[in-house]
Structure 1
Amino acid sequence: MRSFGKSRILIIGCGDIGLRVAKQLSRSHHVFALTSQKERFPELRDHSATPILGNLDHLDSLWRLRGLGETVIHLAPPQNMGNRDSRTRNLLHILAQAPHSVGRLIYVSTTGVYGDHRGGYVSEVTPVNPQSERAKRRVDAEQTLRLWAPAHGVALTTLRVPGIYAENRLPIERIQSGTPALLPAEDAYSNHIHGDDLARIVCAAVYHGKPQRVINVCDGGETKMGDYFDVVADAFSLDRPPRMPAVDLQKLVSPMLWSFMRESRRVTNSRLSELKTPLRYPSVAAFLKTISKNPSDPQRD
């Protein structure tokens, strides 16, 4: 096995959250990041990650990953079609070619695997009930990993994540476009986590994640989706979105957006304390108090 001095971490799917993770972990680890776009190499290097060219949709492009990471952080979403996650299967096929090289794998999944609970509470022991193809692919990935990890001596931590927000991930354009929200009586509960907090939790799982453990990574708030849009609109002095009944709104929005709007659940986060990393932003409102209210303010750049 190749030696690089520092322990090696391989990030699969190095987008916004992956870059935040890479920047933190590179202080004490040698971080590699898979990308299918060679033009992203400078950006990855700027975040102290060594880029590796490969595409999860093409197994033959992934052989350089074999034996590369002692810890693997899997942030890549499944492909866009079907009920099975072929990308995760391709990754595991490659990792299995170097037995005992991977000791820990952290998979970032979604709370969408719980499906609709009509506003009820869900925890990590709630049975999954995926209702969209997207969520079914995530369940397939979780189940595939859950079988693969113990068979290969790998400690698997699955982080189920809801809606991610940050200063660069707020629904400003949606609000400005006047896209309606549901009437309060019909609205769905949504759950959130700040991008920085998520990245910190992913890093904490490298050190504190229990083997074969599922953890909900959310702030534990109980906010309906329309109220979330309202609080963001208020913070930026924008008009609040109009409200519409579900029967009318479904005709106006895309099927993907509607799949988010129709599922209502309140996700609990009692296991989050296992990772020993308190959230910096316990709510969206707490975060919004820390940023400028004027989106054109030059100090925001």
Structure 2
Amino acid sequence: MEMLIFGHGYTAAYLTPVAISQGWRVTGTTRNHPDRVAAAGALPLLWPGQEAELREAVTRADAILVSAAPAEGGDPVLTDFAEKLAQARPRWLGYLSTTGVYGDRGGGWVDEDSALAPSTARGRMRVDAEHDWQALADRHDLPLHIFRLAGIYGPGRGPFAKLRNGTAWRIVKPGQVFSRIHAEDIARILMASINAPEAGAIYNLCDDDPAPPQDIIACAAEMLGMPIPPAVPFEEADLGPMARSFYAESKRVSNIRIKRDLGITLKYPDYRSGLAAILEAEGDG
């Protein structure tokens, strides 16, 4: 069985070993880090650079995952490979989107049937990309699955390094809550879908515990036995445009569908269990 991953980055590095353990051969694209792709166990292909090899990989693939982000001009995978995808007809096609497509809900709940109302440029590009992938799937009867990911965290993407070097801030914006998902759980959910395809399905990928960001920093500090950083009001925080945009949206994301339809039991259902695992993985547990 052949799997092709467009954009073999942080998340794919967790998916690839799981897929290989289940008998898959994995190919992953990268712009300039083939060593990282190979370290995860996948065959690296440069993109841009090896388009001919990639077209062959598309033709061979039983499962294709699109993890590459859209740009202002549209989705790069569709730009370069839409025709080949339509011809290849894999038995499973997955697109990684974001819960940012729901926009700001003032801390309220959303599920997969909620209206899409993005409030950032990144969110709007994701909505456009979802629509473009759905249009391709509809025209050519492709088994598209859309996964809307909450904030991704895991080893190397936790708060511990910033706490140790004194750059972690406990920024407080009243009423602000985020949903999160550990990278290992993303891999498990994707494999569950690959093993039980449902063309046209859309899934939210998040844990059970939407929480204010300052609570995560406080929990991590306690795990390290360090003082909890003082609270900084959001209005006074020195944040760049990217970081500030994350605080433009507050919502709680429902994960009922992945449990009901895919039989998922999360390995890390809340940030406490996820942080403990990160601390252990990073050699400090």
- Please show how residues 75-90 of structure 1 align to structure 2 within 5 Å: 75-79=67-71, 82=72, 84-90=73-79
Per the alignment, in what secondary structure is the counterpart of residue 116 of structure 2?
A: coil
* 2:264 partner letter: T
Q: Give the Cα separation in 2 of the matches to 1:173 and 1:286.
A: 18
Partner deviation per Cα, 1:239-298 (whole Å, 9 max, x = no partner): 32332333222xx1001101112310000111012122311111111233446589774x
Partner deviation per Cα, 1:131-160 (whole Å, 9 max, x = no partner): 111111111111111111122121111111
Q: Give the Cα separation in 1 of the matches to 2:12 and 2:159.
A: 21
Q: Aligned residue for 1:31? A: 26
Report the identity percentage: 27
Report the TM-score when normalising by structure 1: 0.84
Residues 21 and 295 of structure 1: CA distance in aligned 2, closer, same or farther (over 3 Å): closer
2:84 paired with 1:95: yes
Residues 291 and 178 of structure 1: CA distance in aligned 2, closer, same or farther (over 3 Å): closer
Per the alignment, in what secondary structure is the counterpart of residue 18 of structure 2?
A: helix
Q: Aligned residue for 2:138? A: 150
Q: Give the Cα separation in 1 of the matches to 2:230 and 2:94.
A: 40
- Note the aligned Cα RMSD (angstroms): 2.6
Selected match of 1:108 from 96, 101, 104? 96
Q: Give the Cα separation in 2 of the matches to 1:222 and 1:66.
A: 37
Q: Give the Cα separation in 1 of the matches to 2:262 and 2:229.
A: 37
Q: Give the Cα separation in 1 of the matches to 2:264 and 2:283.
A: 33
Q: Aligned residue for 2:246? A: 260
* 1:239 partner letter: P
Q: Aligned residue for 1:49? A: 42
Number of equivalent positions = 282
Q: 1:74 offset after TM fit, Å?
A: 0.9
Q: Give the Cα separation in 1 of the matches to 2:183 and 2:60.
A: 27
- Please show how residues 213-224 of structure 1 align to structure 2 within 5 Å: 213-224=201-212
* 2:182 partner letter: H
Residues 66 and 173 of structure 1: CA distance in aligned 2, closer, same or farther (over 3 Å): same
Residues 295 and 31 of structure 1: CA distance in aligned 2, closer, same or farther (over 3 Å): closer
Q: Give the Cα separation in 1 of the matches to 2:226 and 2:41.
A: 38
Selected match of 2:219 from 215, 231, 240? 231
* 2:69 partner letter: P
Q: 1:92 offset after TM fit, Å?
A: 4.2
2:172 paired with 1:183: yes
In structure 2, runs of 5+ residues without a counterpart are none
Residues 26 and 233 of structure 1: CA distance in aligned 2, closer, same or farther (over 3 Å): same
In structure 1, runs of 5+ residues without a counterpart are 1-6
Deviates more, 1:68-77 or 1:170-179: 170-179
Q: Give the Cα separation in 1 of the matches to 2:37 and 2:210.
A: 36
Query: Are 1:35 and 1:54, in contact at CA under 8 Å, matched by a contact in 2?
Result: yes
Q: Give the Cα separation in 2 of the matches to 1:105 and 1:242.
A: 45
2:65 paired with 1:73: yes
* 1:258 partner letter: R
Q: Aligned residue for 1:3? A: none
Q: Give the Cα separation in 2 of the matches to 1:261 and 1:231.
A: 20
Residues 8 and 61 of structure 1: CA distance in aligned 2, closer, same or farther (over 3 Å): closer
Bigger share in helix = 2
* 2:251 partner letter: R
Residues 283 and 238 of structure 1: CA distance in aligned 2, closer, same or farther (over 3 Å): same
Partner deviation per Cα, 1:153-187 (whole Å, 9 max, x = no partner): 21111111111111321023444434533336x14
Report the TM-score when normalising by structure 2: 0.88
